[in-house]
Structure 1
């Protein structure tokens, strides 16, 4: 999916219906646009950054689990397997899917390992709901405050922290290696 189309799809589904979510997505994608020129996977990262939360759109929420709903919508719209997998598995979604009993459905998509995935997770988990850059620890604290203890996000968070932290650490190491530490 080309970058303009990714942005347009996200805007069409999120801007009016979920303006705060749209602010978050814009923050993630704006930061991805800074990183993009520094590696071959940049265009994929930028497109995935625009699309990662499209599954929150009320008209797409078949399961109400946004990574799965987003990936299914993208597949239906003709997105490639990599894009669908990045959206399906972003930010430790497998842990949440397991809590919800949706892991088998999520596994209809491949979990793409590697730099693009780590950078997407990093950007998502260091961008506030309002689109501002925040630390990983502050973002995780904000997530804990936003969701009650019985919510599936809260229940999955502890079990996913090692995966989340690992992705952030790998992303930060790579960003440092290309001279972008502290810039995105």
Structure 2
């Protein structure tokens, strides 16, 4: 597997590999504290710079590729998503650190992003894509199931959050031979959004 940073784009979104120049673009988007309520780290207000710098640091050491998500319908940046825990030897990576502004949730943005991220990952030779979320994050779990990812289990009290509590972590995956069916399902969902760039 040879996964490298690259601009990813379709009719709905553009995902740019994150650079220092994106810091002030993402800062106001990350200010919504609701985004971080079920995350392991905080990235709003006074915590933003530490979060952003950590994303760049893990990208520099090759274990993560962060993306700024641009919504073509509005021309605005609407969030962030990343490849993380990249393991070329084991031909797998996780898709995570995904968050969107309130206006982009439950729209074409997430299925369009997942289409690009999964497609690129499998095109680069992956055998497995991993996704995980907080046990209380029912919205995220529902999105993963709707996409066609397979529920693999729940690790109880597996990770400490910024609040100090130990969260249950819910795991999902998509395997290479499952990707065509998942891709077709995402295509069907995206087909419901007509002429996205012009509206």
Question: Which category describes the TM-score, using the shorter chain as reference length?
Answer: 0.3 to 0.5
- How does the TM-score come out when normalised to structure 1? 0.36
Structure of greater Rg: 2
Structure with the bigger percentage of helix: 1
